[in-house]
């Protein structure tokens, strides 16, 4: 079990607060539009409590659960904040960067994407158990993050085109529906990416072990 550093002790509260911080603006938006805001506020509160308890009990879960919880809280908040920056810079910006004529290129260049990564990657490296063995091996850590973030972005794009627009129409305001769709997509995209990462790193370890065994036989 990893030592409980001061930063790690703050993790459950930080995760819960960032989940609440995602729900609060949407609850306010619904209130300002004269719509029922209580379901959004209650949903955010329940999600925050669930994330808090899941992190406290994470040693009963897969090490990959850490990444998913961090991405949902830190990455989701960064995604919301980046989207606000995009619309502050350009008030006429589309609901999602993928609605732009440039498609995926607009997503790659948006503040929504970069703030999501900026918020999610540092705590993932710091706190995720599945990345802990890689922290002293920068090349492997970079490969793991590249695969994980690639899967996350692929999931976001897939969710946008699969059900993002439908959720935006059915869960008002549209920003809320789109945020939930993109959040679900990026978490779903990370699951196969993390499995692929583990398989690739395990294959490299086996190849290195075989090479070492052959070298030992030759040296004899």
pLDDT band at 6 (very low <50, low <70, confident <90, very high): low
In tens, the pLDDT along 25-38 reads: 999 999 999 999 99
Cβ neighbourhood burial of 123 (10 Å; 0-12, 13-18, 19+): buried
Averaged over 64-72, what is the pLDDT?
Answer: 95
pLDDT in the model for residue 102: 59
CA dist., res. 197 & res. 199, Å (int): 5
Average pLDDT over residues 137-166: 90
Q: What is the pTM of this model?
A: 0.90
Q: For residue 119, which of 93, 94, 149, 91 has the smallest C-alpha distance?
A: 149
* Better-predicted residue by pLDDT, 196 or 207: 196
Residue 116: cis peptide before it, omega within 30 degrees of 0? no
pLDDT in tens, 92-151: 877 776 665 556 677 777 898 899 999 999 999 999 999 998 988 999 999 999 999 999
- The whole-number pLDDT of residue 103 equals 63
CA atoms 103, 193, 119, 177: torsion sign: positive
Residues of the chain with pLDDT > 90: what percent? 65
């Amino acid at each position: 079990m990893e030592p409980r550093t001061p930063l790690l002790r703050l993790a459950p509260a930080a995760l819960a607060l960032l989940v609440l911080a995602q729900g609060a603006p949407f609850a306010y938006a619904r209130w300002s539009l004269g719509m029922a805001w209580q379901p959004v506020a209650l949903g955010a509160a329940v999600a925050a409590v669930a994330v808090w308890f899941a992190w406290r009990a994470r040693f009963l879960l897969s090490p990959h659960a850490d990444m998913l919880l961090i991405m949902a809280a830190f990455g989701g908040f960064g995604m919301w904040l980046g989207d606000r920056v995009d619309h502050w810079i350009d008030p006429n910006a589309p609901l999602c960067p993928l609605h732009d004529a440039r498609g995926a290129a607009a997503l790659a260049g948006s503040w929504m994407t970069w703030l999501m990564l900026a918020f999610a990657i540092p705590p993932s490296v710091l706190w995720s158990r599945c990345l802990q063995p890689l922290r002293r091996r920068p090349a492997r850590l970079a490969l793991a993050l590249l695969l994980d973030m690639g899967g996350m972005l692929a999931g976001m794009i897939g969710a946008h085109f699969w059900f993002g627009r439908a959720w935006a129409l059915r869960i008002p305001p549209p920003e809320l529906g789109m945020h939930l769709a993109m959040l679900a997509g990026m978490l779903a995209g990370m699951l196969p990416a993390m499995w692929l990462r583990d398989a690739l790193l395990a294959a490299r370890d086996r190849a290195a072990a075989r090479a070492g065994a052959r070298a030992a036989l030759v040296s004899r």
